[in-house]
């Protein structure tokens, strides 16, 4: 099996696992939570980031079998990597002992641990063949910022917040702001780290004479 085929199998496997986890949790909620609102399910950053991760893994797996590395797919991979990194770390630090609509144990493990780790590994073992500058990587943070705004604006109308640290009714807006700023700083660091890894690959490829020609 070639390297490309191995990567494709890796990506398809974890895309299928992530999809299975999302579907299982959604069906569980529909069957076990009275008057469940599907919009709430899709209002979790965990769910949204895992959907992006599943799409990213499936897309990049399909393209690598064709020997192609489109830039837009690499940007999707980068976005999925930073979102899943945020998901995994925030869950580990703030939500480990909190019920966040993932009552099925194996689903919780898949969405908060396995897929984040798989996405990061996938990024590191197959870095883009071009440099992603920090200003480009920072564009990925627009989505988490919009998610934060959506959650805070929708919360009072729906009388529901996806996470305790975003609920000003219990923690106050001061705590929400501090936590959000801390997560934003973490996001900035992860964006810088991803940009740095791509520049590191370019420098390495240049030394061994395998760097692609500049467009």
Query: What is the 3-class SS of the chain, one letter each residue?
Result: CCHHHHHHHHHHHHHHHHHHHHHHHHHHHHHHCCCCCHHHHCCCHHHHHHHHHHHHHHHHHHHHHCCCCCHHHHHHHHHHHHHHHHHHHHHHHHHCCCCCCCCCHHHHHHHHHHHHHHHHHHHHHCCCCCCCCHHHHHHHHHHHHHHHHHHHHHHHHHCCCCCHHHCHHHHHHHHHHHHHHHHHHHHHHHHHHHHHHHHHHHHHHHHHCCCCCCC
Q: What pTM did the predictor assign?
A: 0.90
Residue 214 lies in a domain: no
The mean of the pLDDT values for the chain is 90
Residue 213 lies in a domain: no
Residue 82 lies in a domain: yes
Determine the Cα–Cα distance for residues 172 and 123; give it in Å rounded to an integer. Answer: 37
Residue 173 lies in a domain: yes
Domain count, the chain: 1
| 126-139 pLDDT, tens digit each | 999 899 999 999 99
Residue 103 or residue 64, greater confidence = 64
Residue 155 lies in a domain: yes
| 155-190 pLDDT, tens digit each | 999 999 999 999 999 889 999 999 999 999 999 999
Average pLDDT over residues 1-16: 94
Residue 215 lies in a domain: no
Residue 201 lies in a domain: yes
Residue 105 or residue 140, greater confidence = 140
Range of the domain at 43: 3-208
Residue 134 lies in a domain: yes
């Amino acid at each position: 099996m070639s390297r490309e085929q191995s990567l494709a199998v890796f990506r398809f496997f974890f895309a299928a696992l992530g999809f299975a986890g999302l579907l299982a949790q959604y069906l569980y909620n529909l069957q076990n939570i009275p008057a469940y609102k599907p919009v709430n399910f899709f209002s979790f950053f965990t769910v949204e980031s895992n959907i992006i991760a599943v799409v990213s893994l499936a897309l990049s797996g399909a393209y690598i079998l064709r020997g192609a590395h489109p830039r837009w797919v690499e940007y999707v991979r980068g976005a999925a990597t930073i979102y899943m990194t945020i998901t995994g770390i925030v869950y580990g630090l703030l939500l480990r002992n909190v019920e966040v609509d993932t009552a099925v144990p194996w689903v919780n493990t898949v969405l908060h641990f396995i897929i984040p780790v798989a996405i990061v590994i996938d990024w590191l073992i197959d870095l883009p063949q071009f440099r992603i500058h920090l200003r480009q990587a920072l564009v990925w943070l627009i989505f988490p910022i919009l998610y934060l705004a959506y959650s805070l604006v929708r919360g009072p109308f729906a009388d529901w917040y996806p996470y305790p640290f975003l609920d000003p009714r219990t923690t106050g807006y001061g705590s929400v702001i501090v936590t959000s700023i801390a997560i934003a700083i973490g996001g900035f660091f992860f964006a810088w780290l991803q940009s740095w890894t791509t520049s590191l690959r370019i420098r390495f490829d240049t030394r061994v004479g395998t760097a692609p020609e500049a467009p």
